[in-house]
Amino acid sequence: MRNMPWRDFTALVASIGVVGLGLGATIPLTALMLDQRGIGSGIIGMITAISAFGILGAAPFVSRWVAGHGPRGCMIGAIFAAALSTALMEATDNLLAWGVLRFVFGASMGVLFTIGEAWVNDLAPESTRGRVVAIYTTAFTLFQLIGPALVAAFADKVPLPFASCGALFLLAMPGMLLISGGAHNHGDEPPVAWQRILPRMWMIAIGAAFFAMFDTVALSLLPLYAMRHGIATELAVLSATVVLVGDTALQFAFGWLADHVGRRKVHIGCGIAVCVLLPMLPFAAGTPWLWWTLLLVLGATAGAIYMLSLVACGERFNGQSLVAASAVVNASWGITSAGGPLVTGVLMQTAGVNALPAVLWVGAAIFIASSVWDKNERG
């Protein structure tokens, strides 16, 4: 990958990896601590979902903040806010206060995701954009996978778990300080309103929204789906992990394929693959090798839809428009990650357990339809 500013890229990937580690640890730690205090699962779900509303709350303002303070300044501020809002959960048991802190945490994550995704697109050479963005998304997902393992290993052994978890975010600071402050700074450009660019990125936004729904439904409801189909509890819990492993392991392969075959073809092809694979879930549950293989491939193809949505942002936009486009992507994520598990859970209870693959199939089909509409609009 020639003409790649490797120092900035490596520092950015290291920083966002640490953010993924902190995020991956914070979510299960919050649920665990609430459960140990006798809080019901409904309240735990609400406290968890508030972070998604924080992402939504921050999305309209990120472009303006970057225009005023630059991308690096905004990311440093968001890292401190994430660390502080997590650590302060140590100081109170009040659920309302926890809700406010989780909202601030979600807003911080929204700023970090939006700017990080725009920045990696800014750094990436056009010819290798798929592979560069894939390395970025792989690093984030890999570190996010490690987070729950840290909680499982140390939650009962660390005297101040939330303070320790908040301190994890501060490990991202050295990487931030290594990035060239002005190399990719669009602070001298006026902010761009999301309303101006949304008509040019419906396919991108819907692709991101689909993966957010897929990801949150897989993490929250796939183990339950597996148990309802007769898979042992211990193995059912691993189902969500296998999906994430597929997402992590094969992103670079999809990025390479997109750079060589055509990014749009691979993007749409992944949507079609998801639609073909999802109806097989009920039949695969009784055959272990088929179940695990199917989950790996589903995780990989669904993850590639999101990764290639980020790539498409970099192809279509630059400067403050790219920041605004990344904000739209993260707003889409916030909406469906908050509502997807809720809708799917209700339908599983009322219409049957196979509502899970049905809801995800509809989401993938809408993505494919949006790609056809996008092609017609763009000629």
Using the 3D structure, point to which of 151, 177, 203 is the last residue of a domain: 177
What sign does the CA torsion over 72, 78, 82, 88 have?
positive
Same domain, yes or no: 32 and 78: yes
Residues constituting the chain: 379
Q: Best-predicted range by mean pLDDT among 17-26, 149-158, 236-245, 289-298?
A: 289-298
3-state secondary structure of 214: helix
Same domain, yes or no: 150 and 263: no
Is residue 109 assigned to a domain? yes
Say how many C-beta atoms besides its own lie within 10 A of residue 215's C-beta: 24
Same domain, yes or no: 145 and 223: no
Residue with more model confidence, 41 or 226 = 226
Is residue 185 assigned to a domain? no
User: Angle 303-308-313 (CA atoms, 0-180°, nearest 5)?
Assistant: 135
Is residue 184 assigned to a domain? no
Is residue 186 assigned to a domain? no
Instruction: For residues 290-299, give the mean pLDDT.
Output: 95
Q: Best-predicted range by mean pLDDT among 49-53, 163-167, 180-184?
A: 163-167
pLDDT per residue as tens digits for the range 86-142: 999 988 888 899 999 999 999 999 999 999 999 999 888 888 999 999 999 999 988
Same domain, yes or no: 254 and 295: yes
CATH code, domain with 129: 1.20.1250.20
Same domain, yes or no: 215 and 139: no
Same domain, yes or no: 140 and 274: no
Q: How many whole angstroms separate alpha carbon 170 and alpha carbon 192?
A: 30
Q: How many whole angstroms separate alpha carbon 272 and alpha carbon 278?
A: 10
Tokens of residue 307, six digits: 């990764």
Residue with more model confidence, 246 or 45 = 246
Same domain, yes or no: 169 and 197: no
Grade residue 234 by pLDDT with cuts at 50, 70 and 90: confident
Same domain, yes or no: 173 and 205: no
Let me know: does 226 contact 285? Beta carbons within 8 Å.
yes
Residue with more model confidence, 46 or 356 = 356
Which burial class, exposed, middle or buried, applies to 188 when counting CB atoms under 10 A from its CB (0-12, 13-18, 19+)?
exposed
Given a cut of 80, whether residue 230 has pLDDT beyond it is yes
DSSP 158-191: -SSHHHHHHHHHHTTHHHHHHS-TTTT--TTSPP
Is residue 183 assigned to a domain? no
Domain that holds residue 253: 192-379
Phi and psi of 58, rounded to 5°? -80, -25
Same domain, yes or no: 344 and 226: yes
Let me know: does 341 contact 27? Beta carbons within 8 Å.
no
Let me know: does 360 contact 295? Beta carbons within 8 Å.
no
The number of domains in the chain is 2
pTM given for the model: 0.87
Let me know: does 143 contact 25? Beta carbons within 8 Å.
no
Same domain, yes or no: 212 and 301: yes
What is the predicted pLDDT for the residue at 309?
Answer: 94
Same domain, yes or no: 50 and 161: yes
pLDDT-above-90 percentage for the chain: 42
Residue with more model confidence, 212 or 157 = 212
Is residue 210 assigned to a domain? yes
What is the predicted pLDDT for the residue at 377?
Answer: 53
Given a cut of 50, whether residue 182 has pLDDT beyond it is no
Is residue 187 assigned to a domain? no
pLDDT per residue as tens digits for the range 337-351: 878 877 888 888 888
Using only C-alpha atoms, the chain has a radius of gyration, in whole angstroms, of: 20
Say how many C-beta atoms besides its own lie within 10 A of residue 224's C-beta: 16
3-state secondary structure of 51: helix
What is the predicted pLDDT for the residue at 172?
Answer: 93
Which positions ≥6 away from 339 have C-beta within 8 Å? 213
